[in-house]
Structure 1
């Protein structure tokens, strides 16, 4: 019987709470350690989850925290340095998407993993680990003559109200690697890369916000024989389902390409609609929490590397999309000769 993983967390927000609930439901984790810059918030989370300890100093958290794996859900721009700290402290890492701001950062983390081969870094792109994601990949392989796809994920963020009020919340701040592509866009880029491979070229037509990032936009990924259109955003909402086109069949994904609750196969010239897949879990992070526990418990470095390579491909496409749209983060100015410490 495997020993329960001791879990530490960085980030006290709704997504952290959702991951904790998913992790505890697997019976593979126990929450032991909480980090927050604010003692009152850290104490409140410790009381809520009956955690053993909390820290308000990140260096002390990594040096003295009694945990095996850390879940990082801080602002995007902090993921890179915190992941480096974790690896060097001998911890395994589950880092929220997007794991890193650009390919240079991704490469540095790969170097650190090469130097610390017992450690794991896993990007929490939760829908990739849901059964319906795999059902769709299988169904794509069975389509006759793939013609392309339209993948959507566009939801209004309440934080955009702050932008309208003249403020710059983290998720709409280039300093914190914010914007639509670096949030909801990650899901549909994961879809495209995992289902169709890396595109030959990309173009991103972004609608900017007053804060200097993209609020929403449309991306075109060009492959040898077809195109994939990605529609994503955070300052408006779409109710369009997603579609993948064969010559005579179409796969319809509802409500969108990230919250994959329903998958149907429609046949041209027929009223036949074939349901595919299975009911989604109540907690959308339930499957990834279990997969990550299995990887760490079973010391499955081969699968972890496969997923890290997929993460790197997604990171590269996101970076190309931003460059196409003229979107720049301060982190992009870091010299290409950055190396692992």
Structure 2
């Protein structure tokens, strides 16, 4: 069984731990937090005793094989790189890093430590319904475009309205709707259609100067894909991939709970399978099998890494279009 350490003690960390335990492949052993009280409370809740508040001590002395990182976005790169240097496998929440420059530097570190694996926790990529959409697209005679919508009001936006700057709405911590929810749509678009030829992003900025919502247009040779993303309002619209007369409809392109294919004559066909109660279960299983048998599953791992790189580049290109620059972000090509 693989031993797991964690950075971050929020709800998504708990969800991943629950999925990891349910998979039967992982066991939580070590908890890191900057605050001892949080580390102790989280460790006690999950029946472990090893806690750290010093990051180097965590990696040097912690008894774990892989680390799950769910810290603020701007901290992902530094923490993932440190983990790799200490020989720990990495599972980092999306977006894995904030820029292509960080991606290249992390990739160079991985090349220097070839036995270490680094995964971006893009959970829907590992779920059966994601592959079912991909397979149905391949069967459709002509794709004329898609509209993907993921807009979910964030409780942290209340703090923004009150004059505060929570991490998810902060340029310092690489926040905003595109980075937080748009990454799901970016994975859908690139995973299903490949990298676009050109992109444009039209953000609506909050008082903290990040995008609270926005519309992205991805231009492909024969069609366009529109991404609607937001953290300052809710949308209940379905998402669609349009063929010539046929259409594939999703209840939510991030959750992928229900897929309906409407044939040319309008007949509906249910394509989806019931998702796991814990949406992170599939990725927990996939990461474990790659770590446990890296040679057998290397093709899967390399494909995930390439997709992760492309998604990171797409998010960066969209931010460039929308003129969103994170605090202390190095310019393209900087060293």
Q: Is the 8 A contact 1:101 1:331 kept in 2?
A: no
Q: Which residue does the alignment assign to 1:247?
A: 244
Shift of residue 114, structure 1, vs aligned partner: 1.0
Shift of residue 302, structure 1, vs aligned partner: 3.0
In structure 1, how many angstroms separate the alpha carbons of the residues matched to 2:139 and 2:49?
A: 50
Q: Which residue does the alignment assign to 2:260?
A: 264
In structure 2, how many angstroms separate the alpha carbons of the residues matched to 1:41 and 1:77?
A: 21
Give 3-state SS (helix, strand or coil) of 1:261's partner.
coil
Shift of residue 113, structure 1, vs aligned partner: 1.1
Give 3-state SS (helix, strand or coil) of 1:22's partner.
helix
Of 283, 287, 294, 2:289 maps to 294
Shift of residue 331, structure 1, vs aligned partner: 4.4
Of 195, 207, 232, 2:192 maps to 195
Give 3-state SS (helix, strand or coil) of 2:207's partner.
coil
Of 48, 51, 63, 2:48 maps to 51
Q: Which residue does the alignment assign to 1:109?
A: 106
In structure 2, how many angstroms separate the alpha carbons of the residues matched to 1:29 and 1:173?
A: 33
Give 3-state SS (helix, strand or coil) of 1:42's partner.
helix
Uncovered stretches (5+) of structure 1, i.e. residues with no partner = none
- Note if 1:139 corresponds to 2:162: no
In structure 1, how many angstroms separate the alpha carbons of the residues matched to 2:283 and 2:290?
A: 10
In structure 2, how many angstroms separate the alpha carbons of the residues matched to 1:331 and 1:25?
A: 40
In structure 2, how many angstroms separate the alpha carbons of the residues matched to 1:103 and 1:334?
A: 10
1:307-322 → structure 2 map (5 Å cutoff): 307-322=304-319
In structure 1, how many angstroms separate the alpha carbons of the residues matched to 2:44 and 2:54?
A: 19
- Note if 1:120 corresponds to 2:147: no
Q: Which residue does the alignment assign to 2:156?
A: 159
Q: Which residue does the alignment assign to 1:148?
A: 145
Q: Which residue does the alignment assign to 1:73?
A: 70
Q: Is the 8 A contact 1:120 1:301 kept in 2?
A: no
Of 34, 37, 49, 2:34 maps to 37
Give 3-state SS (helix, strand or coil) of 1:332's partner.
coil
Give 3-state SS (helix, strand or coil) of 1:232's partner.
strand
- Note if 1:169 corresponds to 2:166: yes
Of 313, 322, 332, 2:329 maps to 332
In structure 1, how many angstroms separate the alpha carbons of the residues matched to 2:293 and 2:254?
A: 28
Q: Which residue does the alignment assign to 2:276?
A: 281
Give 3-state SS (helix, strand or coil) of 2:314's partner.
helix
Post-superposition Cα deviations, 1:316-335, rounded to whole Å, max 9, x if no partner, equal: 01001001011001243267
In structure 2, how many angstroms separate the alpha carbons of the residues matched to 1:262 and 1:140?
A: 16
In structure 2, how many angstroms separate the alpha carbons of the residues matched to 1:305 and 1:105?
A: 18
1:182-261 → structure 2 map (5 Å cutoff): 182-254=179-251, 256-261=252-257
Shift of residue 239, structure 1, vs aligned partner: 0.4
In structure 1, how many angstroms separate the alpha carbons of the residues matched to 2:247 and 2:31?
A: 46
Of 3, 24, 27, 2:21 maps to 24
In structure 2, how many angstroms separate the alpha carbons of the residues matched to 1:9 and 1:179?
A: 24
Uncovered stretches (5+) of structure 2, i.e. residues with no partner = none
In structure 1, how many angstroms separate the alpha carbons of the residues matched to 2:332 and 2:134?
A: 38
Post-superposition Cα deviations, 1:129-152, rounded to whole Å, max 9, x if no partner, equal: 110000000000001111110011
In structure 1, how many angstroms separate the alpha carbons of the residues matched to 2:332 and 2:221?
A: 33
The total of aligned residue pairs comes to 333
Post-superposition Cα deviations, 1:145-203, rounded to whole Å, max 9, x if no partner, equal: 11110011110000000000000000000010000000100000100000000000000
In structure 2, how many angstroms separate the alpha carbons of the residues matched to 1:224 and 1:273?
A: 29
